[in-house]
Amino acid sequence: MDRRSIGVLSTGHALVDVCQGSVPALLPFLIARRGYSYSEATALLLVMTFASSMLQPLFGHLTDRRSISWLLPGGILLGGLGIATVGLVESFPATLAAVGLAGLGVGAYHPEGARNANFVAGSKRRATAMSLYAVGGNVGFATGPVVATLLVIPLGLGGLVWFAAPMALGALLLARELPRIDARRMAALAAGPAGDGRRGRDRWWPFAGVATVAGFRSATYFGLQAFVPLLLITRMGTSDAVGNAALTVFLVAGAVGTLVGGRVADRIGTRPVLVGSLAISCPLILSLLEVGEGAAFPILGAVGFFLVGTFSISVVLGQEYLPNRIGIASGVTLGAAIGFGGFVAWLLGLLADQTSLTTVMVVIAALPLPGFLISLALPGENDGSEPIDEPART
């Protein structure tokens, strides 16, 4: 595994996800200072989600046909430019376009970044490499609200123009590393999965299965993000600060689980880790309805560890099933699955308005079950994947 290249790709992943993570934190400022309505504010989130997530399969398809490595620094630069432009414009349509521009940059980076992470990982440590790549995104998403708040509070919305500076620097540094990353990709493509220049065949049905698993996992993840603080505040009587602290525990434990899960998957296989993690998630989430504040924190930590820890594993497994379409595999398991999860979280909000928080939590606990059942039927990474004499794609 080329640790230097993985570190560069992970850092770039962090930078683009800082852009994505900053948008939710900007909504209160935009409502208060520009008079945007709640529907206008949520429309900004919708545009960011669509541009950054749902377009990723398209970018993945393009990079499978021809590697477009400049999307890596270009995506970072475009993301920073979009958020900076939010601070310079006044009208809602212009703000919407600026957020869409940032989302386009985020969406452009992810499939090419995950694709190259696969190539520089080496043949034996793909899950570890992908976990390191994924953690960069976790860090960036968590940092985005902090960066946005630190700029807007002292400088106003116009202070967002400084968002472009670190992004431009990061894009420049990544651009300098592209020759090294491109060389590793070409070497990996020439060698093939078995080291003999041949690629395995694409298995679309198993890939559809792991993509569905990723979608249900993402729906559970976003549902917990939305309702965990509410659960602690309304049912357990905690303060807002404690509710948000519980969410932090969930996210931090998820980052740790991503790193540990990648290493374990490289030792025993990605599918067993995926099956086991999904199996334990359901009872852990249900137990939150029966415990108090003290026990909720370690349980949430365990849920984050096992649930979020499968993030990089599903990406790697999807890439194994589509060895000749790694960009599409990355775009679907990274992007489309996240978009589906965000949509389900919105549906859960509608359900909560009509029923109760307890009902919603039961539904969230049940969401990993379809993924668990599908994962039991998934073939192993190498089952039925005999190599064929096809030229490697570049």
Contact present, 309 and 261 (Cβ < 8 Å): yes
Domain with CATH 1.20.1250.20 in the chain: 3-199, 200-383
CA 85 vs. chain centroid, Å, equals 24
CATH topology of domain 200-383: Growth Hormone; Chain: A; (1.20.1250)
CA dihedral (261, 266, 271, 273) positive or negative? negative
**pLDDT given at position 328:** 83
Q: b/e for 153-179, b at 16 or more Cβ within 10 A? A: eeeebebbbebbeebbebbeebbebee
C-alpha distance from residue 23 to each of 106, 266, 278 (Å): 12, 35, 30
In order of 18, 103, 304, 346, the CA distances from 342 in angstroms are 18, 15, 17, 6
Residue 365, pLDDT score: 93
Residues in the chain with pLDDT values less than 50: 194-198, 384-394
**Residue 189 confidence (pLDDT):** 65
Of 369, 364, 325, 17, nearest to 212 by C-alpha is 369
- Amino acid 187: pLDDT: 75
57, 172, 196 from 392: Cα distances, Å: 20, 29, 11
Give the fold, CATH level 3, of 3-199: Growth Hormone; Chain: A; (1.20.1250)
Compute the distance between CA of residue 101 and CA of residue 45 in angstroms, rounded to an integer.
13
Residue 146 to residue 44: CA distance in whole angstroms: 19
pTM of the full predicted structure?
0.73
